[in-house]
Amino acid sequence: MKISIIIPTRNEESIIEKTLKSLKAGLLIPHEIIVTDGASTDKTVEIAKMYADKVVEHTGPNRQTIAEGRNAGAAVATGEFLVFMDADCSFMNPDDFFKIALEDFDDPKLVALTGWLRVLPEYETLADYLVFNIQNVQSLFVNKILHYGISPGGEFQMIRADTFRQLGGYKEHLIAGEDIELFFRLSRIGRTRLDRRLKVFHTGRRAHKIGWPRLLSLWFLNSVWVVTTGKAYTKEWKVIR
């Protein structure tokens, strides 16, 4: 049983080595690490090739959406489970983390899994703590009680590979909200779950850069637009580094 960890990147030289080294050093269960790069202009690809099992480089004329990057990784993945995570995400103990995740998939009806989001302690503010805990509890309730697929963010999503391919993966035209849209479709054909034991840490850099009021409004508008129109409200999801 193998997991394929897919990490989309664009100009992530400041964080990608730490992320990949943590996975390589701490993950013992059968796995492969795939980095899909969206035409970085820094040393991201050079660093990724030192640690990843596969590096897929975008060469098209247009800027790659994160959905395209994730789908490109899935296209070369060989694992039974696809793990989509962001370049600035980490787990305290990767091996224990994925053992718990795989145990969840002992339920044959479970098609997708997400985790409890936290900002890394060294960066976490009170606002981070409050907002993400509210999102986590909301996602926990909606998945478990209402059976409506939702994840607190796209930082970590683990999906059965055959189910992912059955649905055609992420909608590549979506600039934002692609994670919400896919989790909803997944919940129509199977169960989705948030496991609060799965702590997913990230830098919180977008909220810290543009501020929580602005980010929350973008999340809300993109969610509404994706659900009602099938398109994202945001026309460009700016790179925050």
> Could you give the CA distance from residue 84 to residue 36 in angstroms, rounded to a whole number?
11
| Residue 238 domain flag | no
**What pLDDT, on a 0 to 100 scale, did the predictor assign at position 61?**
85
- For 115, the token pair is 């985790």
| Residue 22 domain flag | yes
State yes or no: pLDDT of 81 exceeds 80.
yes
Mean pLDDT, to the nearest integer, of 119-140? 96
Residue ranges making up the domain that contains 138:
3-229
Contact yes or no for 194/216 (Cβ under 8 A) = no
**What pLDDT, on a 0 to 100 scale, did the predictor assign at position 94?**
96
Mean pLDDT, to the nearest integer, of 30-40? 96
**What pLDDT, on a 0 to 100 scale, did the predictor assign at position 146?**
94
**What pLDDT, on a 0 to 100 scale, did the predictor assign at position 236?**
82
| Residue 241 domain flag | no
| Residue 46 domain flag | yes
> Could you give the CA distance from residue 133 to residue 135 in angstroms, rounded to a whole number?
5
| Residue 239 domain flag | no
- Residue 45: give its domain's CATH number: 3.90.550.10
| Residue 235 domain flag | no
| Residue 190 domain flag | yes
| Residue 240 domain flag | no
State yes or no: pLDDT of 1 exceeds 80.
no
* Nearest alpha carbon to residue 5 among 96, 57, 77: 77
Longest dimension (CA), the chain: 45
pLDDT band, very low/low/confident/very high, at 207 (cuts 50, 70, 90): very high
**What pLDDT, on a 0 to 100 scale, did the predictor assign at position 239?**
84
State yes or no: pLDDT of 90 exceeds 90.
yes
Domain count, the chain: 1
pTM greater than 0.85: yes
